[in-house]
Structure 1
Amino acid sequence: MGERWEDDTHRVVLVTGAAGGLGGCIAARFYDHGYRVALTDLDEEAATKAAAELDPTGENAVGLALDVRDKDAFARARDRLVERWGAVHVLVNNAGHSKVESLMDITPESFAAVVETNMHGTFFGCQVFGSYFAERGYGRIVNLGSLAGQNGGTATGAHYAAAKGGVATLTKIFARDLGPRGVTVNAVSPGPQDLPVVRRTVDPEKLAQTEAMIPVGRLGRPQFIADMVVLLSAEHADTVTGACWDANGGLFMR
C-alpha cells in the first residue's frame, strides 16, 4: 500500500460504477495509492459495502448513490465530497451498461438505455466535474472506453459499441476544451477482462474460444487497467490529454 499524503495534500477521487467489477478494482487501486476514494453506484447499499471493505473507519473511503444518467446527481456527489474532504481532484467515468442483442432486434428503448448510461453518463460527468476542475485550475478525468468502440464490437451489442465510440470522441472534445485550464481528459479502452462476473456467466467452452482468438492468449488483467487509470490521474501526467490507452491483448492494433 502506498503512503498517504498529509491532510492538506490528500487527493480525492470519485469512481462511478464502483460497487464491484472493474470499477471496484479501480477504486481499490486508488485507495492503495493513498487517495481518498468515493465509490459511487446506482446500488447505494453495494457501494457503501464496498467502501467499508476498503476502509471500515470511513475516513478515506465512502460509498454514495449516483445515477450517471442524472446530471444533477453528479453535482450532488461533488458537493458532498467537497463538504466531506474539501475538494475532488479526479473523476473516473467507469459506469457502464452492456447488452448483447442482435443488431436488427434492438428496440429504440434498449438503444436509449444503453447509450444513456455509457455515453450520456460520461458526458454529464465530464461537464460537471470538468467545470469544477477548471475553476480550480487542476483536475484529472479518465473515461472508460472499450475495444467495442474501436472495432465496432464483436461480442457486444451495436448500441454498446456505438456508445463507447462516442466516449472516445467526447474524451477528445473535453480534453481540447479543458487543457488550457489545467485539466486533462483521457480514456482507457480495455478488451475482454478476466473478471469474476465473466467467469460466472460465460460458458467455459466459449470463454476458451475467446481466449484463443486473443493474440496474447489470455483475458486482460483488471489490476493492470486500474494501474493505467491511476497513472493517467497522477499529478505529473499533465502533458497527457486526449489520449486513448489500449489494453486488448493485441485484438486491435494501431
Structure 2
Amino acid sequence: MTAESDVAVVTGAARGLGAVIAARLHGHGLRVALADVDVEKAAEVARHLDPSRATARAFALDVRERASFHDLLAGVVAVWGGLHVVVNNAAGTQATPVMQISAEEFDSVVGVNLSGTFNACQILGAHLAERGYGRIVNIGSLAGQNGGTATGAHYAASKGGIHTLTKVFARELAASGVTVNAVAPGPLDLPVVHRLVPPERMESLIATIPVGRLGSPGFVAQVVALLASRDASSVTGACWDVNGGLYLR
C-alpha cells in the first residue's frame, strides 16, 4: 500500500489507538517512530514491533512544546534520513461536567489536543513540504462534530478545532505535495472508553449506536494507513467518519 522506504511518526503511540495505528503502519512496511511523552512505554511497544529497532523506535515527545517537535524531527532524520507520514493522535481528556471545568483544565486538554496538532502540522508539515511529499493524518472525533461532551467539553472543542485545522493545512500544503486529512472515530473498543464509561452504562451506550457495537481500533488504523498511502494523492482536507452511524451527513 505504501512504499517500504517511507517513515512515519505517530504521536501518542505508547498505548491505545496510537499503538494500534503504529502497529498497522509497521505491518504495511513503514518504518515507524513511536512518539510519546511516556517514552519508556513507547519503547516497550516498539520492541514488540521490531526488537532490533531497525524499523520501529521510540522517541520522546511533548506535543505541547514546539522545541520537542524540532528534537523529534532531528532524531528521526538522523536515524532514517527523512520523514514522509505524520499521524497526530496524541490526546488527553477528563470527563468533567462542562460547568465544572477549570480554566487550567481547559487549557491543559486544548494544549495537548489542539495546540499539539497545530505544532505538528506546522513544524513537521514544513519539513514534508520542503521535500515535496507527505501525508498528514489527524485524529479527530465524533465529539468534535456533534458537540458530544461525554469525554469533556474541552475535548470536544479541541477535536472540532482539529477538523478545522485539517482543512486549513490541507489548503496550505497541497501545492507542495502534502495531503492533510482527518479521521473522526466514534466510541471505540479501547481501554480508555471502558474507563470513561462504567460497566452499568456501557450497555445503554451501545444501544444508542445504530450498528450496535463499539468501533474497531484496527479498522480506524486501516483507514489511517489508507490515507497515509502514496495512492492517496487525490484526497485532502477530508474528514473520514467511523462512528457506527451516530453522525450522518
TM bin (shorter chain): over 0.9
Partner Cα separation in structure 2 for residue 3 and residue 157 of structure 1? 36
Aligned Cα RMSD in Å? 1.3
Which residues of structure 1 form unaligned runs of 5+? none
AA of the residue aligned to 1:40: A
For normalisation by structure 1, the TM-score amounts to 0.95
How far is 1:205 from its partner? 2.2
For normalisation by structure 2, the TM-score amounts to 0.97
Which residues of structure 2 form unaligned runs of 5+? none
Higher relative contact order (CA 8 A, sep 6+): 2
Question: 1:61-76 alignment to 2 at 5 Å?
Answer: 61-76=56-71
Query: Deviations 1:194-215 (Å, cap 9, x if unpaired)?
Result: 0134345632221111100000
Paired position in structure 2 for 1:204: 199
Aligned partner (choices 160, 166, 171) of residue 171 of structure 1: 166
Aligned partner (choices 214, 228, 240) of residue 223 of structure 2: 228
Does the alignment pair 1:100 with 2:122?
no
Aligned CA distance change for structure 1 residues 39 and 150 (closer, same or farther; 3 Å)? same
Does the alignment pair 1:187 with 2:164?
no
Tell me, yes or no, if the aligned pair for 2:2 and 2:230 is still in contact at 8 Å: no
Tell me, yes or no, if the aligned pair for 2:184 and 2:241 is still in contact at 8 Å: yes
Question: 1:98-177 alignment to 2 at 5 Å?
Answer: 98-177=93-172
The more displaced of 150-159 and 87-96 is: 150-159
How far is 1:104 from its partner? 1.2
Partner Cα separation in structure 1 for residue 3 and residue 184 of structure 2? 29
What is the number of residues matched between the two proteins? 249
Partner Cα separation in structure 2 for residue 157 and residue 139 of structure 1? 32
Aligned CA distance change for structure 1 residues 252 and 201 (closer, same or farther; 3 Å)? closer
Partner Cα separation in structure 1 for residue 186 and residue 176 of structure 2? 32
Tell me, yes or no, if the aligned pair for 2:2 and 2:228 is still in contact at 8 Å: no
SS at match of 1:84: helix
Partner Cα separation in structure 1 for residue 226 and residue 105 of structure 2? 35
Partner Cα separation in structure 2 for residue 150 and residue 50 of structure 1? 31
AA of the residue aligned to 2:166: T
Query: Deviations 1:16-64 (Å, cap 9, x if unpaired)?
Result: 0000100000000001000000101110110111101111111100011
Paired position in structure 2 for 1:86: 81
Partner Cα separation in structure 2 for residue 245 and residue 186 of structure 1? 8
AA of the residue aligned to 1:61: A
How far is 1:4 from its partner? 7.8
Partner Cα separation in structure 2 for residue 3 and residue 180 of structure 1? 21
Does the alignment pair 1:246 with 2:241?
yes
Partner Cα separation in structure 1 for residue 197 and residue 100 of structure 2? 22
Partner Cα separation in structure 2 for residue 230 and residue 151 of structure 1? 25
Paired position in structure 2 for 1:30: 25
Q: 4+ residue runs of structure 1 moved beyond 6 angstroms?
A: none
